[in-house]
């Protein structure tokens, strides 16, 4: 009985977490590489007052992304990862169509697990998270982006992120939560007399997830996240009503093809409910991921 319980916990921890975080190493993995394909159709947006508004007739936006990522283990309980995104956007408005894209902002991150989910009935898994995102993409204020700025692929600033994650297994179930704080560097937008000094506010993200893992290690996970950013600062003054909020609900699954190859898929949605979002689009889309690992 004890041996069976430990196996169930290990399955829930590894396969369940993979359904939520595709680039995360399982307990038995030393390294991995993978690719993730994402497509999202913007159906509306939340205005400055938080009201949800459907996209007007003749307006549309399709967001595409292809991520390449890799991760490797260090110090037994630590792992480092890198993610390189390729971003494309197609927008249509008032008879004008614009398409653009390119490399996005590259991210490097680390995770260290102080305790492991399922190792104790009373002490959950606890991990520290950190990351740096480089402004390798094209910022939204860059010249020659096209009539609808579809060529923007990044935020134009360095970003540092710190976070903490807590998770625990209950037989075949995995329950987890994490919180992140991201700070972006200041930047100068424009040139000459038109130049302004801009600093984006800190960005907070909270995520909660629950996953179920079958004996075959196929897993199904439901997660919800909420991202909030305060008002930006322009030339030392707060830019009123520039803050952003966005909720996201994701349903994902992991299908192990072999011990070292797994496929992952998920559907995501920004719920079109007034009061939940602010100054952000609302989209529905899908992700498909392939991961190859070394044991």
Give 115-127 pLDDT, tens digit per residue. 999 889 899 999 9
pLDDT on residue 141: 84
Structural domain includes residue 91: yes
pLDDT tier for residue 10 given thresholds of 50, 70 and 90: very low
Counting the structural domains of the chain, the total is: 1
- Min mean pLDDT across 55-69, 96-110, 137-151, 279-293 is at 137-151
- DSSP classification of residue 138: -
Strongest mean pLDDT among 23-27, 54-58, 248-252: 248-252
Arithmetic mean of pLDDT, 81-92: 96
Output the DSSP codes for 254-293. Answer: EEESSSSEEEEEEEEE----TTT-BSEEEEEEEEEEEEEE
- Going by C-beta distance under 8 Å and a sequence separation of 6 or more, which residues neighbour residue 135? 105, 154, 155, 156, 157, 158
Structural domain includes residue 289: no
**Could you tell me if 231 and 240 are in contact, meaning their C-beta atoms sit under 8 angstroms apart?**
yes
Structural domain includes residue 291: no
Distances (CA, A) of 291 to 65, 100, 174, 265, 285: 17, 28, 21, 11, 20
For 132-146, how does the pLDDT look when each residue is reduced to its tens digit (9 = 90+)? 999 999 998 888 888
Distance CA 102, CA 154 (A): 10
Structural domain includes residue 155: yes
> Which domain CATH number covers 152?
2.40.128
Structural domain includes residue 293: no
pLDDT tier for residue 41 given thresholds of 50, 70 and 90: very high
Structural domain includes residue 290: no
- Asked whether the predicted pLDDT for residue 22 surpasses 80, the reply is no
Structural domain includes residue 210: yes
Mean per-residue pLDDT of the chain: 90
Structural domain includes residue 68: yes
Residue 81, both tokens: 């990862």
Distance CA 254, CA 12 (A): 12
Residue 15, domain extent: 2-284
Distance CA 54, CA 46 (A): 9
């Amino acid at each position: 009985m004890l041996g069976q319980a430990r196996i169930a916990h290990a399955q829930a921890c590894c396969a369940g977490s993979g359904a939520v975080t595709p680039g995360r190493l399982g307990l038995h993995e030393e390294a991995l590489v993978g690719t993730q394909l994402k497509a999202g159709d913007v159906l509306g947006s939340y205005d400055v007052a938080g009201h949800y508004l459907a996209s007007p007739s003749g307006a549309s936006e399709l967001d595409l992304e292809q991520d390449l990522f890799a991760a490797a283990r260090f110090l037994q309980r630590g792992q480092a990862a890198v993610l390189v995104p390729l971003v494309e956007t197609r927008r249509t408005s008032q008879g004008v169509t614009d398409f653009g894209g390119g490399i996005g902002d590259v991210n490097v991150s680390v995770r260290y697990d102080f305790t492991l989910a399922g190792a104790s009935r009373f002490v959950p898994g606890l991990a520290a998270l950190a990351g740096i995102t480089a402004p390798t993409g094209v910022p939204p204020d860059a010249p020659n982006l096209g009539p609808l700025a579809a060529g923007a692929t990044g935020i134009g600033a360095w970003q540092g992120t710190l976070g903490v994650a807590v998770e625990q297994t209950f037989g075949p179930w995995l329950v987890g939560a994490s919180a992140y704080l991201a700070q972006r560097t200041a930047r100068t937008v424009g040139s000459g007399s038109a130049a302004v000094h801009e600093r984006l506010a800190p960005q907070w993200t909270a995520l909660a997830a629950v996953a179920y893992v079958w004996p075959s290690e196929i897993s199904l996970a439901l997660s919800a996240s909420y991202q909030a950013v305060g008002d930006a600062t322009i030339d030392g003054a707060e830019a009123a009503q520039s803050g952003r909020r966005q909720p996201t609900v994701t349903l994902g699954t992991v299908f192990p093809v072999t011990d070292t190859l797994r496929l992952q898929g998920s559907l995501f949605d920004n719920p079109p409910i007034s009061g939940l979002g602010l100054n952000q689009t609302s989209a529905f889309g899908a992700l498909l991921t392939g991961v190859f690992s070394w044991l």
